[in-house]
C-alpha cells in the first residue's frame, strides 16, 4: 500500500508542476522568444522587425549629414538618364530636366541649381536629406520621398557623369533681393581664399577648393553655380531649414556673414568656370610625385589667376599661413572630420 501511495503522489506532483508553468515550457520549445513571452507577443515582435527592415533603407536615406543608403550593384546610368528625362509618374517623381535643364545646367531665373558634374555621393546625400526633411523645399521633398535607394543611386551617378553643361540662359552674378554687389568682387575673392578672422569665418577654399572647384566626393563645387541659388542656400543655412552639416560650420558661416558678404560670394563663385564632371576628377595629394594624366593647359577649366593663368594652388590651411587657424568651429566645415584637407582635384582625360 505504501508503494502505491508513493507512486500516486509522485504522478500528482508532476501534473501540478506542468500546469503551473505552461508559458515557461512553451518558451523553451520555441527558440527566439524571450522568457515569459507568449505567442501573441512573439508575433507582434516579428511584425515590428519586418516593418523595421522595410523602412530601414528609407530611414538611412535621410540621415542628416550621412550619405544615402547604397543600393547593391553598380549604378545604371541609362536608368538614371531615363529617370532624369521622364521621371516616375506612378511614384510622383517628376522629370529632373523640367527644373535642372536637359544637361543638368540648372536655371538661374528659377533658382534651380546646376547639378551636372557634382559627385554622386553629394547628390545622393542631398536627395536623402530631402526625403527625411533635413532639407526643406516644396518641389524636391515629394520627389525625393517617391524615390527608392536604387533610383537615387542611378540618377545621382548619371548627373555626376555629365560635364561641359552650358551656362543656363539668364545666368548672372547679380544677387536677388536688391542687394548691390557692385565693387564686391574683391570681397568675394578674399572671403573665398582667406576668410574673415574677425567674424571667425574660415576660407571657403578650405573645404570647397580653390576658386570653388569642389573637393570630391564630399564637398560640392561652387564655381559656375548660379548666384541666386547660392544666395538662397546660404539663407537656408542661416534660418535653419537646412540641417545637413553636423559640424555646424555652414550654419556658423551663414549667420556671421552679412547680406552684402553673401552677395559678394555668390557673384564671385558664379563668375568662375564650372569644373569638369566629377567622374573626370581625381585627388592628388599635395607634395606627391603623382600628376594628372594630362597637364592643365592655358584653356583648362578651373579658377583663374592674374592674366588668366589657371590656379593650381591650395587652400589657406595648406599653403602660406593666414588667419585660417582661428576661424570658427568644425575644423573643416564638412560632414566628416577625417576628410583629407591636402588634396586638390585635377582633371584627367580618360
CA 197 to CA 191: how far, in whole Å?
10
The CATH H-level (homologous superfamily) assignment of domain 59-170 is Cytochrome c-like domain (1.10.760.10)
Half-sphere exposure of 47 (CA within 13 A, CB side): 6
Only one residue has cell 538614371, namely: 80
Residues 45 and 20: their CA atoms lie apart, in Å, by 25
Instruction: Provide the sign of the torsion angle of the four alpha carbons 108, 346, 201, 244, taken in this order.
Output: positive
Tens digit of each residue's pLDDT, the chain (350 residues): 444 454 445 444 444 444 444 444 443 444 444 444 555 555 555 554 444 333 333 333 444 434 445 566 789 999 999 999 999 999 999 999 999 999 999 999 999 999 999 999 999 999 999 998 889 999 999 999 999 999 999 999 999 999 888 775 544 444 444 444 444 889 999 999 999 999 999 999 999 999 999 998 889 999 999 999 999 999 999 999 998 888 899 999 999 999 999 999 999 999 999 988 877 765 555 665 655 544 445 555 454 544 554 444 434 443 333 445 455 555 444 333 334 333 334 444 44
How far, in Å, CA of 14 to CA of 217, rounded? 69
pTM as predicted = 0.65
What is the per-residue pLDDT for 216? 85
pLDDT number for residue 184: 82
Distance between CA atoms of residues 207 and 284, nearest Å: 15
297-321: per-residue pLDDT in tens? Answer: 555 545 454 455 444 443 444 333 3
Count of residues for the chain?
Answer: 350
Provide the pLDDT for residue 22. Answer: 40
Domain ranges of the chain: 59-170, 172-287+294-350
Instruction: End-to-end CA distance of the chain: give it in Å, rounded.
Output: 100
CATH 1.10.760.10 fits 172-287+294-350, yes or no: yes
Domain 59-170 and domain 172-287+294-350 have a common topology: yes
Q: All 3 cell numbers of residue 276?
A: 569638369
Q: How far apart are CA 169 and CA 296, in angstroms?
A: 28
Nearest partner of 61 among 5, 10, 133, judged by Cα: 133
Give residues with Cβ within 8 angstroms of 32, minimum separation 6.
42
Amino acid at each position: 500500500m505504501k508503494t502505491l501511495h508513493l507512486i500516486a503522489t509522485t504522478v500528482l506532483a508532476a501534473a501540478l508542476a506542468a500546469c503551473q508553468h505552461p508559458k515557461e515550457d512553451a518558451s523553451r520549445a520555441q527558440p527566439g522568444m524571450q522568457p515569459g513571452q507568449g505567442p501573441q507577443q512573439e508575433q507582434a515582435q516579428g511584425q515590428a522587425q519586418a516593418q523595421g527592415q522595410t523602412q530601414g533603407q528609407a530611414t538611412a536615406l535621410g540621415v542628416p549629414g550621412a550619405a544615402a543608403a547604397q543600393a547593391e550593384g553598380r549604378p545604371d546610368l541609362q536608368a538614371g538618364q531615363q529617370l532624369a528625362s521622364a521621371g516616375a509618374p506612378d511614384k510622383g517623381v517628376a522629370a529632373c530636366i523640367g527644373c535642372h535643364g536637359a544637361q543638368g545646367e540648372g536655371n538661374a531665373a528659377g533658382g534651380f541649381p546646376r547639378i551636372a558634374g557634382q559627385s554622386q555621393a553629394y547628390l545622393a546625400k542631398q536627395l536623402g536629406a530631402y526625403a527625411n526633411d533635413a532639407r526643406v523645399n516644396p518641389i524636391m521633398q515629394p520627389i525625393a520621398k517617391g524615390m527608392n535607394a536604387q533610383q537615387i543611386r542611378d540618377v545621382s551617378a548619371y548627373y555626376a557623369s555629365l560635364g561641359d553643361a552650358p551656362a543656363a540662359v539668364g545666368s548672372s552674378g547679380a544677387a536677388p533681393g536688391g542687394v548691390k554687389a557692385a565693387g564686391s568682387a574683391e570681397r568675394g575673392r578674399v572671403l573665398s581664399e582667406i576668410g574673415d578672422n574677425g567674424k571667425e569665418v574660415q576660407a571657403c577654399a578650405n573645404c570647397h577648393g580653390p576658386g570653388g572647384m569642389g573637393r570630391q566626393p564630399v564637398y560640392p563645387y561652387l564655381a559656375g553655380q548660379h548666384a541666386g541659388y547660392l544666395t538662397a542656400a546660404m539663407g537656408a543655412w542661416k534660418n535653419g531649414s537646412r540641417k545637413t552639416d553636423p559640424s555646424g560650420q555652414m550654419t556658423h558661416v551663414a549667420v556671421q556673414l552679412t547680406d552684402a558678404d553673401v552677395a559678394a560670394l555668390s557673384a564671385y563663385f558664379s563668375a568662375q568656370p564650372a569644373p569638369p564632371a566629377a567622374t573626370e576628377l581625381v585627388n592628388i595629394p599635395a607634395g606627391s610625385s603623382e600628376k594628372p594624366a594630362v597637364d592643365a593647359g592655358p584653356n583648362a577649366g578651373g579658377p583663374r589667376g592674374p592674366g588668366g593663368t589657371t590656379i593650381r594652388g591650395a587652400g589657406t590651411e595648406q599653403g602660406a599661413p593666414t588667419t585660417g587657424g582661428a576661424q570658427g568651429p568644425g575644423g573643416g566645415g564638412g560632414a566628416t572630420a577625417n576628410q583629407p584637407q591636402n588634396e586638390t582635384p585635377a582633371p584627367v582625360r580618360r
